[in-house]
Structure 1
């Protein structure tokens, strides 16, 4: 099979009209070019150039293969340009898998900045309600990084973005909106036991946050009286404000709306992390993670 170098020299000789001039432009020698071209002609089993007293001219075979030779040289140059641009973080693609409530507060600001700072980088975003589904997606190589509450098991790299507070959301006039019924906490705060005394808007079974909250209630020696369930923590907050029950959600689910928020005593929270595969990140994914770390975890409005 013809080498790329031989095709590059063949097109250079055609462009400059002689082996001598092509050698000067390419910082090589006419004999080195002649050797490469002879090997190429032997490979193709036909002469490509007429060697004239003054210069060269393409043969019929040379004219026939010229266009394909130029395309091969241009394609190789494009590979080099793109590869170097990706290595420098100036072009390419980064695939982000994100817990759905974390997209707006964490990922969206980075995406907005990257549109201006990295215009030739394409960011592909996949959202997940389930931590297990997200880690499986990342583990299968379908994403370059993940943004998620800290999972139970992950064999790759884990980078702490920050600690996100978990709060209760109640409708206007709800007893938990002021001092709690036991009087053991300060106004505007509540306990897990106090929340468990009221109807609760829960999350769908199997949701990682639902499992975590069930464990929190068990540690407090109680259970939540779930009267309605939803797949989305953001929807749970909306349902709570509408009077369907008390919702216990991370602040990222509030959408910037602090209405009806009651904090826990002692505080509840979870780590939010960026995950990378065990083999490490490519330059783009690594830079994206650094920008996420700089932004920190979602904060209470």
Structure 2
């Protein structure tokens, strides 16, 4: 396969009209330039240059190849410049998967910053209710990074962004309003608004209850932690949600658990060496989790 360097040598010869001047313009020796031209001739099977007593003359085949070589060299130059722009954060695309409760809570300030400072970068966002599902998308190459609670297991590159608190939500006027914090055993004694099986919180909350030796008996289930908080505030029962689900604070009672329960928030990255993705992750770290410094 003919190299770009060989094509560059041919174009230089056509433009300079002399092997000596062409070699000098490329900072090559004359034998090195001749070697590159010979490689093209072997590949196409016909001479590119005819030696004359007073110098050389590029053949019709050589001129035809040089015309196309200019196109290839311009394309190669554009490719290099595009790569540099993306590496500098001035172009490209970042595909983000995010836990649905965290878009407004965590991502919006970073996304807004990128739209104002890096407007040439295309941002694609998808929202999910399962950390494990987001990791599947990372592994499949469908997203570049995933932001949310720690998945149950992954071999992908993972960075901890911080911890968010998990709280209890109850209706206004509920007895929990007279307490500074609520035990999980007290939550278990109440009608509980739980989560659909395809929401990662379903397993997480069940495991939390099991760790404290209690059983939660949901009176209804929803896929959305935000909806669960709103249903609890509306009198459907009580629920347990991460604080990111309270971006629009419900009118009911919100209390911390006793003892305090936090969950890690992480970013899972498909290609840590990707300069553009690394810049986005760095901005997530700089921003930090709301209320955590």
Shorter-chain TM-score: which interval? Answer: 0.7 to 0.9
Deviation readout 1:136-195 (Å, 9 max, x if unpaired): 22233433322121223223333221110111223333333x21xxxxx43xx3332333
Over 3 Å counting, the alpha-carbon distance change for 1:38 and 1:102 in structure 2 is: same
**Which residue does the alignment assign to 1:69?**
69
**Which residue does the alignment assign to 1:234?**
226
Mapped partners of 1:266, 1:57: distance in 2: 87
**Which residue does the alignment assign to 1:212?**
204
Conserved in 1, the CA contact under 8 Å of 2:129 and 2:198? no
Conserved in 1, the CA contact under 8 Å of 2:198 and 2:223? no
1:114 matched to 2:114? The reply is yes
How many equivalent residue pairs? 291
Segments of structure 1 that go 5 or more residues without pairing to the other structure are 180-184
SS of the residue corresponding to residue 215 of structure 2 reads coil
Deviation readout 1:69-105 (Å, 9 max, x if unpaired): 1222122223322334444444433332222212222
SS of the residue corresponding to residue 106 of structure 1 reads helix
Mapped partners of 1:241, 1:212: distance in 2: 22
Deviation readout 1:185-232 (Å, 9 max, x if unpaired): 43xx33323333332221102432122222333344433231221111
TM-score normalised to structure 1 length: 0.82
TM-score normalised to structure 2 length: 0.84
Task: Name which of structure 1's ranges 20-29 and 262-271 shifts more when overlaid on structure 2.
Answer: 20-29
Mapped partners of 1:160, 1:41: distance in 2: 56
1:80 matched to 2:73? The reply is no
SS of the residue corresponding to residue 214 of structure 1 reads helix
SS of the residue corresponding to residue 267 of structure 1 reads strand
1:287 matched to 2:279? The reply is yes
SS of the residue corresponding to residue 244 of structure 2 reads helix
**Which residue does the alignment assign to 1:5?**
5
**Which residue does the alignment assign to 2:21?**
21
SS of the residue corresponding to residue 143 of structure 2 reads coil
Task: Name which of structure 1's ranges 74-83 and 43-52 shifts more when overlaid on structure 2.
Answer: 43-52
Mapped partners of 2:283, 2:19: distance in 1: 52
Over 3 Å counting, the alpha-carbon distance change for 1:139 and 1:35 in structure 2 is: closer
Over 3 Å counting, the alpha-carbon distance change for 1:52 and 1:125 in structure 2 is: farther
Equivalences for 1:166-177 in 2 at 5 Å? 166-176=166-176
- Kindly report the root-mean-square deviation, in angstroms, between the aligned alpha carbons of the 2 structures: 2.9
